[in-house]
Structure 1
């Protein structure tokens, strides 16, 4: 019985789609370092109305006391720590894991300054919601075109 097959160098190159395979490429590269700290993403949504900026950040698996927020003029910084529990039964071993843990950090600028004394934060169901009132400095005004 002959199990040899002919190698076609163009077949594997023709099936490679760099856009579709990027995620799998990084997963493949990370497999040898199974216990490495792979930092998760901190995804945010920012919206505004006339008087307030609204920020929502996804922080699943984080305790309230592990979240730190700092405001400086128009700069918002959010950091948090995701802790991983190592509760395994005796004789049990980990085969595959995608849940990440470690320190998260995100810093971004808003178009205008924030009144840090009136800012508020709420954390519920893994979502951090920041209400950041715009600073009323009187320097902004509308100019009509004549």
Structure 2
């Protein structure tokens, strides 16, 4: 399936520009990217959705491979920060096995989101099936109207 879009080898013709710095959509194995199970965004950070529900924010982070013990959520000075660190190991009997390649994943991340003045005592969080869900109630002390700022 990787050859659905044939490519010409541009390096054989010195008069054609080398576009290696600008990858083409057709230079990718689209099906592998769609179905490889990778839930990280292009920066290698977990995908996070922040939704304004009116009286609270709902934050969901996809953290495949992480356990609840691997994740820390903190609020400080208007910022909600999610930290995560994990290392995948596999204890197996390796007698009579001849690996050509053996891969495991490990890593850490930190994501911070400005949520402003909130009711920090009522923040709730849960972690289930690799999905972190945080409910952040907004503070009643927040200004309810917009204000125009005059510029000097």
* Fold in common (TM above 0.5): yes
Q: Shift of residue 10 of structure 1?
A: 3.8
How many residues matched? 119
1:84 maps to what in 2? Answer: 88
- Point out where structure 1 has 5 or more consecutive residues left out of the alignment: 1-6, 25-38
Per-residue displacement from partner, 1:114-146 (whole Å, max 9, x unpaired)? 211100001111110000001121x51337xxx
- Point out where structure 2 has 5 or more consecutive residues left out of the alignment: 1-11, 30-42, 147-152
Cα pair 1:40 1:102 within 8 Å, conserved: no
2:126 maps to what in 1? Answer: 122
Partner Cα separation in structure 2 for residue 20 and residue 56 of structure 1 = 32
Q: Which has the higher contact order (CA 8 A, sep 6+)?
A: 1
TM-score by length of 2: 0.64
Cα pair 1:40 1:100 within 8 Å, conserved: no
1:107 to 2:112 alignment: yes
Per-residue displacement from partner, 1:39-68 (whole Å, max 9, x unpaired)? 942221001122100100111111111110
Secondary structure of the residue aligned to 2:18 is: helix
Per-residue displacement from partner, 1:84-130 (whole Å, max 9, x unpaired)? 11435233425264x631112111212x3121110000111111000
